[in-house]
Chain A
């Protein structure tokens, strides 16, 4: 055995308590697998937020519609990267498309991803931006002219009929997109929920819990990005939009917390043989990340903040500061939710008699630096997307259409 690996194993052994099987000393799913559901959750959440404006006609959220779509795209592009870094050999990833294996949920992820990326997100963004792209191209100069020409796929038609068709297409894709977004993140929950050998994961509620935590994370991330980009552009924040975002974030948080509580109470009431080791896990290894960070700082405190700011007579400046802090806390909370699921589920032995520890490396393929890189990358991609496809109100070349009449 590799001496370095042996030394790692030895240091991990020092943190083992009770009895565990030899292959459980080291965790196989590292921080990269924590990042994967975190990123996909943000994608699904941001898309569902965008759909609120288009499908559910929440007009207050109009300033964040395009921003939410671009956020979803930026995070979606990075979402499979942690998996590829974890598995190695990214050049083989396309093989799952060549030989589809419908018996493997993990292998089908490629298709869920491809459907969501190509049929839902890219098409919706393309139809929504198409007319603008054509018009921007006319006034563009240099590289940007070429970029906009490529992104518009050489499209030229900006006749009222074509633009009307774009709007209908966007609406139709959004409607298809909602179940697709549910599928994307519900699927991630399904992967964990279907591991029947692991009592911490195996729950039919898992896809639904994942879904609502995705909505929570998506809304709070778009709120944060809207806040920061507006300030950086030295523009005025739309308080109506922020208030509505805060309201939806609060409602989603309430549902998310209720579902988690239901899951917890259900486990407690069932009291299967795993309950003792799970109790040790919750009050021992995960006490800080679950009880303190996820539940208290990541859920209850933001809920109190949001409710207090939303339904009080505080000045707008104060309100938006509170929204910002609450959204930031929600992000920390959601990240620790993913951590507690992925890492927590591997900390106890299948013998239900012992616990191990996760030792996060700094460097290496699955280390902290790669993880930070993968968390920063979506923001760089988003910055590029914002440059190519500015979602701001002043960049629009045609006014927002009035409600399309029923034919």
Chain B
């Protein structure tokens, strides 16, 4: 290959020398002229096309039409920006900016508010209601980052509006289990999103106060008979109406016939009591 390259270079040099000296091979070969004309035509064509088709401001700011920025700026504004909201609602914005929602813009929940800021009394922004607006970010999805608050809507206080317990401007969970979850975190997390979420651990586990100091020496009691679950789930049971300020009457508590249901098995042989799936 090197030999061939050398040969080509030498031939080219000889030809150029001959042409310079004005020898008989001075004339540029006709085929080169013909090709040159074609390439020149393509080059001129490209130049003319560029003149016609490349927008005037293309490349002024980057690899795009700079005038596009101005064209976009002329579009009608729909979002006002949180600073506009803060001008009239400083308390709400202040609360929000100190909470977990500090990076969520007002208009992310309340919708585009430009009309409202122009005519505050006539056009009101949206007031999100129900669960769906919150679930847009907080519905359980495996791809969300670990630790991001997520709920399974069927199991997390079904039918209740989120704002019944959470303040959207300061969404810190209203009550979080502190003591038992310090050691029994997995159980606490399962229970927190289960229908048993309103029940304190002590409802089922009779726990001596010493357990917190000497957990192995003072073990809490576990239910050991079917009748215990029957306190709430037996057909004729009359469970308390309110536990930890949660109205249990809104729940459709599953009821069973303790005598015929499940034969001789105890409840926890089929149901995981910290996340009982049957409804």
Contacts and interface: CB of A to CB of B under 8 A. Distances in A.
B49 A94 contact: yes
Interface string A392-406: 000000000000101
A7 interface: no
A112 to B, nearest CB: 16
Given A98-B49, A103-B63, A172 B8 contact: yes
B6, B29, B142 — which one has the most chain A CB atoms within 10 A of its CB? B29
A169 B31 CA distance: 11
Contacts of B251: none
A99 B58 contact: yes
Contacts of A251: none
Given A99-B59, A153-B31, 15 more contacts: A54-B4, A56-B1, A57-B4, A97-B46, A98-B49, A98-B50, A118-B42, A127-B31, A157-B29, A165-B31, A168-B8, A175-B5, A178-B1, A406-B6, A407-B13
B10 A407 contact: yes
B58 A126 contact: no
B25 A155 contact: no
A397 to B, nearest CB: 16
Interface in B121-153: 142-143
Interface of A: 19, 21, 54-57, 94-95, 97-99, 101, 103, 118, 123, 126-127, 130, 153-157, 161-162, 165-166, 168-169, 171-172, 175, 178, 351, 404, 406-407
Given A168-B11, A351-B143, A407-B11, A126 B4 contact: no
A402 to B, nearest CB: 14
A161 B63 contact: no
Contacts, number: 77
Interface in B39-59: 39, 42, 46, 49-50, 53-54, 58-59
A19 B141 CA distance: 10
Interface in B205-249: none
A406 B63 CA distance: 49
B34 A154 contact: yes
A126 B10 CA distance: 22
Nearest to A161: B25
A162 B25 CA distance: 10
Given A56-B1, A155-B30, A175-B1, A123 B25 contact: no
Contacts of A166: 31
B63 A404 contact: no
Contacts of B14: 407
A130 B12 contact: no
A335 B147 CA distance: 46
Sorted nearest first, the 10 A-B pairs with minimum C-beta distance are: A172-B8, A153-B34, A407-B14, A168-B11, A407-B10, A157-B30, A165-B29, A55-B4, A101-B63, A98-B50
Nearest to A56: B1
Contacts of B6: 406
A162 B12 contact: no
Contacts of A118: 39, 42
A404 B11 CA distance: 10
B4 A155 contact: no
Interface of B: 1, 4-8, 10-15, 25, 29-32, 34-35, 38-39, 42, 46, 49-50, 53-54, 58-59, 63, 142-143
A55 B1 contact: yes
B12 A172 contact: yes
A342 B63 CA distance: 29
14 contacts: A57-B4, A98-B54, A99-B59, A118-B42, A123-B35, A153-B38, A155-B31, A157-B29, A165-B29, A168-B12, A351-B143, A406-B6, A406-B7, A407-B11
A221 to B, nearest CB: 23
A171 B63 contact: no
B30 A21 contact: no
A130 B32 CA distance: 12
A383 B143 CA distance: 54
A162 B31 contact: yes
A127 B8 CA distance: 15
A211 B31 CA distance: 33
A256 B53 CA distance: 44
B70 to A, nearest CB: 19
A404 B7 contact: yes
A169 B30 CA distance: 13
Nearest to A404: B7
Contacts of B25: 161
Contacts of A153: 31, 34-35, 38
A175 B4 contact: yes
B5, B13, B31, B42 — which one has the most chain A CB atoms within 10 A of its CB? B31
Nearest to A157: B30
Contact of A99 (B4, B7, B32, B63): B63
A81 B29 CA distance: 36
Contacts of A54: 4
B35, B38, B50 — which one has the most chain A CB atoms within 10 A of its CB? B35
Given A57-B4, A95-B53, A161-B25, A156 B10 contact: no
A152 to B, nearest CB: 9
Given A101-B63, A351-B143, A171 B4 contact: yes
A38 B123 CA distance: 60
A73 to B, nearest CB: 16
Contact of A171 (B7, B38, B142): B7
Nearest to A119: B39
Contacts of A406: 6-7, 10
A19 B7 CA distance: 61
Given A98-B54, A153-B35, A171 B8 contact: yes
B39 to A, nearest CB: 8
